[in-house]
A and B are shown apart, each in its own frame.
Chain A
Amino acid sequence: MLVTQEFTVEVEGNTILDDLTLEYGPGVHIVMGPNGVGKSTFAHALMGKPDYITEGAVQINGKDLLAMEVHERAQAGLFVSFQTPTPIEGLSNYQFMRQCLKEKDVTIKESLGEFKRIASEYGLPDQWDKKHLNVQASGGEKKKNELIQLELLNPTVAILDEPDSGLDVDAINTLVRRLTNYVETDDSRCLIIISHYQQLIEKLNPQTVTVFKKNGTAIQTDDISITQKILESGFNAV
């Protein structure tokens, strides 16, 4: 579904990711690595963040991802959640979603109903649809907003950047339940999760684990026990 070949990313003159050849098929994949090694950069380079210079090749569902504009990458089925989603004053949460869904054949009634239902499941306040996008929202609320967007946009490949951060225990349980349900209800979906949260990793039963290294390279393995080693002995152990 998502294949990178010799994928290199340069930001402000520094090579952050070097020569990555990785493959993500249907199911859940975990991405780990020490702070500052470029896990988020990986996600946003794939999304096409301006000022990121990329080399190599990336294909999503057989299409050349790097040849696409940012919005075309999203329309091709890629979704990247933000660690710190940007606030936009004057744009309500639902109006934002409505604009995102414009190209899809979804009525306002359907999308608003679904929006409210998911928001309610995440324990977001009433009238969440009318609140301005990520304005005066806590870290946890912003994360939940991202997860609502994920579910409504229904991408084929989603990269979630530490979706558990900022969430309380109840919200993490909801997150685990909803993500489990998300991949189980459609086994063609590919979910790449940047996380070091053991409970989340165990429950989602990942297919592969990618570990990013300080020199900009990464290893990908289907030996899931590597996550346990890392959590017990640190990244130097692998």
Chain B
Amino acid sequence: MSNLEYTIKELPDLLPLGIRNNMMQNNMLLKDMGDSINTFKESVLLSNPYYNKFYKHMKVEKLLGFINTTASQTKSMSPVMDQFQETHIEFEDGYIDTKNISNFYYGPEYITSIDRFSANNMLNLYQEYFVPTGRFSDIAYLNTIGPVGIRVKPKTKRSIPTSYGYTTKDIRDQQKDISCNLIIIDIGAGSTVTMEETFLSNPALKLYNILYLVREDAKLVLNRSFAPDLGAHIIESKVIQFPNSKFECNTQGGSNPYSQELTEVEIWDNCTTHINGRYYIEKDIVNNVYTKLHHKGTDSFSRVDVKTVLEGNAHSSFRGEIVVDKEAINTDADLKNNNLLCSTKAVAISEPQLDINTKEIQCAHGCTVSNIDADQLYFLQSRGISKQHASNMLKESFLGLIL
């Protein structure tokens, strides 16, 4: 099948036709993860994620402008690992490259690579964490060439630079088919790991379904950034926090024409969770953030703090959910979403949702949409700062970027 062009809306109908060697076609993966693959297949074929009401404020129609072309799917079988200048782990649709941070093909000694070729990849054990959501991440799951990931050994203390996408721009520009990524990050017990995550876009769509397992007593910090580019990202992350673990995600984003960053965290006993997002969006950029913190265990602490500055015709949606189970006593949760509207044409939608099933907790939320404060602007100008510069300072200080 050559030069087949399609959009994300059409893809579910094409999946059974075998347009690529994806999870549904690969016998090795069907053997390891068959139960899970069948569940996802049923879900996607039953209901096209494009029409999911979950996306009602996310302007998914803009995704129809990203045309995917199957004929361009040629480069990936020849990983371009030798061209990398910096040391990092690289993920791209079924492939992982750890060679550049190690002399060993399967990565340095503190990491075990997970891919469909590795012995003991334990994919059959990971499949229990993957449950269909009815969203685009289900397509990422089914249409990826294969799951990849890393298993960080217990008690590791490391910073791991990670890129999602080929770091060489010329090669990325050739990737004109949809990139579907199913990624497993398994942080061993007692480890402290910081992942410096850079998301690189292709001309076509990039879908991510990422599972982070933060084992007992481990700490995982994600510092997320996006290379300014013309592509679109749909990133859906699921985080499982085992007891006594810490998870922190710090995102600086808003530079791509279309983004969805969806993060669900399952929080067990005595955990700490921080999700911080800082987004600056302008022109016609559409940026959507969804967080769901599900407190399942006792004595946990969580904070969500998402701020967005909007200019031009930018569109931002934020939906923040906190769910506290009946058993999750002594939970302390707080959710904040603040938006600074710098244009009359920009739109910010903010939806907090609390689902609290026990009384023995502290839980709060606060969402605001405001304009640049005229008094603050005047104050800065009165000290000799031009209106434009003062306005930029206020935007940056709102995002906490000029401390």
B383 and A100 contact, CB distance less than 8 A:
yes
**Segment 130-167 of B: residues with Cβ below 8 Å from A:** none
Interface bits A68-100 vs B (CB < 8 Å: 1, else 0): 011101110001101001101111100110011
Interface residue total, chain B, C-beta cutoff 8 A: 26
Q: How far is the CA of A130 from the CA of B373 in the complex (A)?
A: 22
* B interface: dominant SS: helix
Report the minimum CB–CB distance from B271 to chain A (whole Å). Answer: 28
Q: Which of A1-54 contact B (CB under 8 A)?
A: 47-50
CA distance A85 to B379 in the complex (A): 8
CB pair B384–A103 under 8 Å, yes or no, is yes
Asked whether B399 lies within 8 Å of A90 as measured between CB atoms, the reply is yes
Knowing A90-B400, A92-B403, A95-B403, say if A82 contacts B384 (CB, 8 Å): no
Tell me, rounded to whole Å, the shortest Cβ–Cβ distance linking B384 to chain A.
4
Q: Is the CB of B399 within 8 A of A50?
A: no
Pair B403/A70 contact, Cβ less than 8 Å:
no
Decide: A74 near B373, CB < 8 A? Known: A88-B394, A91-B402. no
A residues within 8 A CB of B46? none
Kindly list chain B residues whose C-beta atoms are within 8 Å of the C-beta of A73.
382
Contact with A along B195-224 (1 / 0, CB 8 A): 000000000000000000000000000000
Is A210 in contact with chain B by the CB < 8 A criterion? no
B345 CB to closest chain A CB, in angstroms?
Answer: 22
Most buried by B among A70, A99, A149: A70
> Are A86 and B376 in contact (CB-based, < 8 A)?
yes
Segment at the A interface, from B2-10, B16-24, B348-356, B385-393: B385-393
- Does B397 sit within 8 A of A, measured CB to CB? yes
Give the residues in chain A near B389, CB-CB below 8 Å. 99
Give complex CA distance A103, B386 in Å. Answer: 11
B396 located at the interface, meaning its Cβ lies under 8 Å from any Cβ of chain A in the complex? yes
Query: Are A75 and B384 within 8 A (Cβ)?
Result: yes
How far apart sit A50 and B387, CA to CA, in the bound complex (Å)? 12
Give the residue name and chain of the A residue nearest to B388 (CB): A71
Q: Is B381 an interface residue (CB 8 A)?
A: yes
* Chain A count of residues within 8 A CB distance of the other chain: 28
A100-B374 contact in complex given A90-B398, A90-B403, C-beta closer than 8 Å: no
B387 touching A70, Cβ below 8 Å = yes
Query: Does A224 have its Cβ within 8 Å of any Cβ on chain B?
Result: no
B117 within 8 A of A: no
Would you call B375 an interface residue if the criterion is a C-beta within 8 Å of the partner chain's C-beta atoms? yes
B84 sits at the interface (CB 8 A): no
Nearest chain A CB to B48 CB, angstrom units: 42
Q: A80-B382, A85-B379, A86-B376 are in contact. Are A69 and B397 (CB under 8 A)?
A: no
Evaluate whether A49 and B393 lie within 8 angstroms (CB atoms) in the complex, with A95-B403, A100-B384 already known: no
The reply to whether B376 and A71 contact each other, CB–CB distance below 8 Å, is no
- B397 with A71: CB separation less than 8 A: no
B51 interface residue, CB < 8 Å from A?
Answer: no
With A and B bound together, what is the CA distance between A50 and B380 in angstroms?
13
**Alpha-carbon distance between A99 and B399 when the two chains are bound, in angstroms:** 17
B378 contacts the other chain (CB 8 A):
yes
Known: A49-B378, A89-B397. A71 touches B373 (CB 8 A): no
Considering the chains assembled together, what is the distance between the CA atoms of A99 and B402 in angstroms?
Answer: 10
Q: With A49-B378, A71-B381 in contact, is A90–B386 under 8 Å at CB? A: no
Q: CB of A153 within 8 A of chain B?
A: yes
Measured between beta carbons, the chain B residues less than 8 angstroms from A100 are 383-385
Contacting pair B387 A69 (CB below 8 A): yes
Complex Cα distance, B384 from A103, in Å, reads 9
- Chain A residues near B402 (CB-CB < 8 A): 90-92, 95
Given A71-B384, A74-B384, A86:B403 Cβ within 8 A: no
Q: Which of A74, A89, A90, A95 contacts B383 (CB 8 A)?
A: A74
Identify the closest chain B residue to A78 (Cβ): B382
Contact with B along A49-72 (1 / 0, CB 8 A): 110000000000000000001110
Residues on A with beta carbons closer than 8 Å to the beta carbon of B374 = 50
* A200 vs B380: C-alpha distance when bound (angstroms): 28
Measured CB to CB, the nearest residue on chain B to A103 is B384
A71: which of B375, B385, B398, B401 is its contact (CB, 8 Å)? Answer: B385
Distance in angstroms between the alpha carbons of A122 and B362 in the assembled complex: 40
Q: How far is the CB of B377 from chain A (nearest CB, A)?
A: 8
Are B383's CB and A86's CB within 8 A?
Answer: no
Return the CB mask of A94-119 against B: 1 if under 8 Å, else 0: 01100110010000000000000000
Residues from chain A with a CB closer than 8 A to the CB of B403 are 90-92, 95, 130
A50-B374, A82-B382, A99-B389 known, 17 other contacts, Cβ within 8 Å: A50-B378, A70-B387, A74-B382, A80-B382, A82-B379, A85-B379, A86-B379, A88-B380, A90-B396, A90-B397, A90-B401, A90-B403, A91-B397, A92-B403, A99-B380, A99-B385, A149-B383
A residues near B (Cβ < 8 Å) are: 47-50, 69-71, 73-75, 79-80, 82, 85-86, 88-92, 95-96, 99-100, 103, 130, 149, 153
22 A-B contacts (beta carbon < 8 Å)? A47-B382, A70-B382, A70-B387, A71-B382, A71-B383, A74-B382, A79-B382, A86-B375, A89-B397, A89-B398, A90-B396, A90-B399, A90-B403, A91-B397, A91-B402, A92-B403, A95-B403, A96-B380, A96-B383, A99-B385, A149-B383, A153-B383
Using a CB–CB cutoff of 8 Å, the interface residues on chain B facing chain A are 373-376, 378-387, 389-390, 393-394, 396-403
